[in-house]
A and B are shown apart, each in its own frame.
Chain A
Amino acid sequence: MDYVIQELKTLFSGQNFEKKRGDLLFATLDTGVLVQALKHLRDMLGFRHLVLITAVDWIEEDLFQITYLLRNYTQKTDVGIRVFVPRSNPIMESIHTLWETAATYQRELHEMFGIDFPGSPRVNKPFILEGWQEIPPYRRDFDTKKYAEETYFPRPGRKTHDPETYMKQKLYPDGTES
């Protein structure tokens, strides 16, 4: 894995290298060099299998992390490339030209996180959801419980008691020894 680190560092100024289990490496790259770097990894370093593309919402830092996980079948190693795009304007270059299957992932990310991949086939078409009118659901500021309770109104008639408060009511209502 060290040669991968070396290449990513010198050619694409990669940072935050994190080795896991000896066969898995995570690295952070700038968005600008991502497509080149993936192409390099695919064509030069043998990472020819795109395992997945996914995103993580770091709402506190106002960033989306997009992770591209690649696998090298001869070396049996994986590289996870992280890039960060701003939440306010989440646009990322599409890689469907490198891997056909990337289009599906990008379509899902567009729907679930609202990250745009201009040029990716059918990226604006609903994939999983239908008639969705809220903010993209995988964003962390979307409260699924609140939405579910308001939309699907759970069956009424349930009431629970917190043991601590209930015991207080029963045994020492004014906060004192009885």
Chain B
Amino acid sequence: MKYFEEDRSKFPPKNADGSFQIDLESHKFTHIWQGPQHPGVTGNMSLELIIQGDEVMQCETHVGYLHRGFEKLMERRKYIQCFPLVCRICVPEPDFNEYCFAAGVEELAGIEVPEKALWIRTLVLEMARLASYLMWMGGAAGSLGHGLPGQWTNYLRDYILDRFEELTGGRIYHMYILPGGVRNDLPEGFKQRLLEVLDDIEQIMKDVKTVMFNNTVFKKRTQGLGIIDPSWVEPYGITGPNARAAGIPLDVRKDSPYLKYPELDFEPVTGQESDAYTRLDVRRRDLLITVDLIRQILNKMPENGEYMAPLPNVLNWEIPRGETYVRAECTRGEYGYYMVSDGSMYPRRVNVRGPSYTHAVALMEKLVVGVNIADVAALMTSLHTYPPEIER
């Protein structure tokens, strides 16, 4: 949807691959950096933009500001020592890392995880999804100068963090899903307190829908913005809500069910328009599904049972030679761990596939061309990218 016609005759000629021919020295273009120190980028990354007027002609994503070399560090740590490390790879929802790493180790070492632990893991992953969505929702509203929903969702997220704190002992980094199970049982009265938070969330999400999604300004700015063609999903490796908003129901929870998802009743949310508004709306509805899933989990979870499989001495833990790939559906799409073991006490190689890797680099660079400079931030948040999982 375009609201005014532009004079496109002054636009530069195009190259064979569809990109614009840009001659910076001609002074017809402006070369600006958005980020890393900029309120309009998600996290610590930057976009190098070339604009003409206020329209983006070319974009290059720069990452690496958060590179800590996890994959290298893991090679010199024992498996158990990698466990506190992995959750740091993605700050807003560390638990998917913990789960993928644990599941990979369990698969390579042949460990059977107790039933109760599987349930608790499912619960933790869904809680993480909730926390992450809620925080992102604030960012998405904020990127359009819409401060209010962020105030609401962030305090709701904080309630979830409080529940995390009493369950896992950690607020941001939970370090809870250990290879073999989880580190502790649910505390007393936990279910009740969590259910109360869920009620709050449902209540506030109604307001968020009214205030944000039904808001004319919001609609006008996001509808028609950054349309992902369904045919891009495969060449660009798009997963998660970004693909679902394009009408392609990709959801690891359904496609390759893990943990207790086969026993839970839900349908992946999809959209049709595939623009920023749809992506945001798909996430909002997915958030509500998560609330429902947590209720189901709490209902079906057995009261008692072991939460940890017996482990060998973790200080001398050698894992048989082999390789595997484990995936989980996080808020942004497919989160995966490719692990190679050489039979020693140290992993040979762990490769983390964060969904933002494809979304924030190749896809973003393509989508942002032709977008108004003021909408770049909104477009980015609509893709829901987290830089730490790109560069690791």
Contact = CB atoms under 8 A, between A and B. Distances in A.
A99 interface: yes
Contacts of A159: none
A56 B237 contact: no
Interface in A86-112: 98-101, 103-104
Nearest to B342: A58
B236 interface: yes
Interface string B356-392: 0110011100100000000000000000000000010
Contact of A24 (B71, B325, B357): B325
Contacts of B327: 51
Interface in A18-37: 18, 20-21, 23-24, 26
A104 B362 contact: yes
B323 A52 contact: no
Contacts, number: 90
Given A48-B234, A145-B76, A20 B107 contact: yes
B322 to A, nearest CB: 8
Contacts of A129: 64, 67
A127 B63 contact: yes
Contact of B237 (A80, A99, A137): A99
Contacts of A130: 64
Given A73-B250, A144-B73, A128 B357 contact: no
Interface of A: 18, 20-21, 23-24, 26, 48-52, 54-57, 65, 67, 69, 73, 76, 78, 80, 98-101, 103-104, 126-130, 137-138, 140, 142, 144-145
Query: Top 6 nearest A-B pairs by Cβ distance?
Result: A128-B64, A54-B351, A101-B237, A52-B353, A56-B349, A101-B358
Interface of B: 63-64, 67, 69, 71-73, 75-76, 107, 234-237, 239, 250, 255-256, 322-325, 327, 334, 336, 338, 340, 348-349, 351, 353, 357-358, 361-363, 366, 391
